Amino acid sequence: MQVLLLHRHLHHADVISGMRAALAVGSFTPDVVALEARKAAEADGRSPTVAAPTPPPAPPVPDPQVPSLTMRRVTQLPGDARTLPDLARWDQLLHRTRKDVP
């Protein structure tokens, strides 16, 4: 399984060369295959690892052509003509002391 995963980071030909070299010395471990594959890449004068391609940049998101239903409803609401609440009574409640607290 690990030998199959080497294809993520190494060229196919290098992995095959690594498998052949590992079998020639009588080893079946993935570490030996990986080492021999890297040696094969370096012997050919290439970098032993394959660079992952960078994904292209995401295209810009176009402005929506359909207006938001919520924004449409908000713009159609009538103005609020109510008077502001009188907070004088609340201020009196805040300054009272509780009689049941020692």
Domain boundaries, the chain: 2-43
d(CA 34, CA 7): 10
Radius of gyration in angstroms for the set of CA atoms belonging to the chain, rounded to a whole number:
37
User: What mean pLDDT is reported for the chain?
Assistant: 79
What's the confidence (pLDDT) of residue 100? 66
Higher pLDDT, 73 or 96: 73
pLDDT (0 to 100) of residue 101 = 59
φ, ψ for residue 21, nearest 5 deg:
-65, -40
- Output the pLDDT for position 44: 78
**Structure tokens given for 45:** 């004068």
Per-residue pLDDT of 19-67, as tens digits, reads: 888 889 888 788 888 888 888 888 877 776 766 667 788 888 777 677 7
Give the pLDDT band of residue 68 (cuts 50, 70, 90).
confident
3-state secondary structure of 38: helix
